[in-house]
Amino acid sequence: MEHNGSYSGHNGSYSSHNGHVSLVGHGDNFESQTILESKDLDAWFGSHHVVKSVSLHFFSRTVSAIIGPSGCGKSTFLRCLNRMHEEIPGARAKGVVNFQGKNIYDMFSEPANVRRHIGMVFQKPNPFPAMSIFENVIIGLKLAGVKKGYVLNDIAEACLKQVGLWDEVKDKLSAPGLSLSGGQQQRLCIARALAMAPEVILMDEPTSALDPISTARIEELLVELKKTVSIVIVTHNMQQAARISDTTAFLLSGDLVEFGRTGEIFTNPRKSETERYITGRFG
Amino acid sequence: MDRHVQVGIHELKNKIIEMGGLAEEAIALAVEGFLASSSQRAQDVKDIENRINRLHILVDELCVRLLATQQPMGSDLRFIVAVIKINADLERIGDQAVNVSGNAKRALAGRPLDLDTRNDFAAMCPATRDMVRSALDAFVRNDQRVAEKVLKMDDVVDGLKNAIFAKTIELMEQGTLGVKQGLDLILIARNLEKIGDHASNIAEDVIYATSGQDVRHPYSRTELKSP
């Protein structure tokens, strides 16, 4: 797929100028700085070609949703964006993922360093079981060499406040992370990701294991977080994508079918496959 | 097996077709009665309007239920949004048919219409009915081109209304037409023109449902886009 300039699978068109990208759709132009982009990205599990030459822009301080039926490659694509995919035995990726203009797959990029800038939150809340609430938040910082107690305390408090968990846990910071409810655990995991001050957080169906109230709190949190962090979220819940995201990409069988402003994708998609998917004709 | 939302949309479409048929019938009875100088079917028009009103409620309930339970998207969402508005337009067309019928009853009690006014109404009545019929055809067939034709027909109906207004005012000023009768004729023309407007609204909603294009108020839209 051609990346620069016009782009066939796109709802409208990209135009790129000095790193500034306009997303032109049916309505007003959507304009923001690109923070992360994939160029002709392919991914495989063994011989199974899961992601096929996907080129996509993710804009700074936005929520970008990736939707598609099960097995379409959206989670694999997401994991390629911070080099998590290659951790799986037999998995490989080819192509370019530019983060702030630099390819995270070039030979000088350390995967661990990439993940400090591009964090991840998973489907199932996964606090470290042997750690307290406090330790769960600051473990990344500790591993990165931050030792000063007051720094760790301040960051833990700030991150727990940012995810709206501070008031609920400030009196039991030494309690196990697993003692929290499912929704609280997921917010703890987001706080853990935020502690590293990433520029991007990738989220793989972060609310699929949560009840509606916890889901609503996470959704509100994501909309709040995008003021400071760019978020890429994979979700099966199209209403969720419609509620919280600014742009949406639809993947099908590893191909990018359509990408555009969320409002347009869910009311008037350009591609018949997208229309059929969002109206429940398949998937 | 059809999904719930598709079953609901099928049901909505049938209900709107039924409402549209009734609206057309109400207009036909009111207009034909007026042109034939007969007010015998006025009660029939009211009965039809009652049936339209019942469907108006049912369609709204069904739309709300589909939105709440199915959370439709894409063309399904556009269709339901369009139906909510078309439903309101058809209900208003029913009201206007009753108004025409009532105004006609009073207007016919006065002196016979002059030839010009009679000819203008003879042209305006079928033009209005054509607009409604074509708008409903466009809805049934998801036909954007037919819907676009309806929008062009509106100018003809507006022109006829203006001609009737001018002629009626002229006759009232001359004293050859009583104020009460003149007012009823003006209201008949006004109600027919409003029916045409509702048909135009339906056509715009059909265009939105089929293509996603919002063709309403093009001038206001330009202003919205300017900085």
Query: How confident is the model at residue A8, as a pLDDT?
Result: 35
User: CA–CA separation, A122 vs A172, rounded Å?
Assistant: 24
User: Nearest CA to B189 among B156, B161, B154?
Assistant: B161
Task: Using an 8 Å CB-CB cutoff, list chain B residues near A26.
Answer: 212
Which residues from B are below 8 Å from A266, CB to CB?
A: 73-74, 77
What's the rounded Cα separation, in Å, for the pair A128 and A174? 13
In a domain, A5, yes or no: no
In a domain, A1, yes or no: no
Q: Is A55 helix (H, G, I), strand (E, B) or coil?
A: strand
8 A C-beta contact, residue B106 and residue B181: yes
Is pLDDT above 60 for A21? no
Q: What percentage of chain B exceeds 70 in pLDDT?
A: 97
Query: Can you give the CATH number for the domain in which B96 is found?
Result: 1.20.58.220
Closest-CA distance, A176 to chain B, in angstroms, reads 39
Please tell me the least confidently modeled range out of A133-137, A175-179, A212-216: A212-216
In a domain, B224, yes or no: no
Tell me, rounded to whole angstroms, the distance of Cα A160 from its chain centroid. 20
Structural domain harbouring B123 = 4-217
pLDDT tens-digit map of A219-235? 999 999 999 999 999 99
Asked whether the predicted pLDDT for residue A14 surpasses 50, the reply is no
Residue A30, pLDDT score: 55
- Cross-chain Cβ contact A267/B5 below 8 Å: no
Per-residue pLDDT at A6: 30
Residue A117: domain span: 13-278
Question: B115: distance to nearest CA of chain A, Å?
Answer: 51
The number of beta carbons lying within 10 Å of the beta carbon of residue B186 is: 18
B73/A242 CB distance under 8 A: yes
CATH number at residue A237: 3.40.50.300
Reported confidence tier of residue A160, pLDDT bands at 50, 70, 90:
very high
Interchain proximity A268–B225, CB inside 8 Å: no
Candidate from A154-168, A226-240, B31-45, B193-207 with smallest mean pLDDT: B31-45
pLDDT in tens, A72-113: 999 999 999 999 999 999 999 999 999 999 999 997 778 989
B225 vs A contacts (CB less than 8 Å) = 28
Number of domains in chain A: 1
pLDDT of residue B84: 98
pLDDT at B38: 83
Please indicate, yes or no, if residue A106 is contained in any of the structural domains.
Answer: yes
Predicted-complex ipTM score = 0.77
Is residue B67 situated within a structural domain?
yes
Do the chains contact at A279 and B76, CB–CB below 8 Å? yes
Tell me whether A272 touches chain B (CB under 8 Å).
Answer: no
Residue B225 has a pLDDT of 64
For residue B69, list chain A residues with Cβ-Cβ distance below 8 A. none
A171, pLDDT greater than 70? yes
Asked if A239 reaches chain B (Cβ–Cβ under 8 Å), the answer is: yes
On the question of pLDDT at A3 being above 70, the answer is: no
pLDDT of residue B226: 58
Tell me whether A279 touches chain B (CB under 8 Å): yes
Classify residue A150 by burial, with Cβ atoms within 10 Å: 0-12, 13-18, 19+. Answer: exposed
Mean pLDDT of chain A, nearest integer = 89
Q: Answer whether B193's CB lies under 8 Å from B157's CB.
A: yes
- Secondary structure (DSSP) of B31-63: HHHHHTT--TTHHHHHHHHHHHHHHHHHHHHHH
Let me know if residue B222 belongs to a domain. Answer: no
What's the domain count of chain B? 1
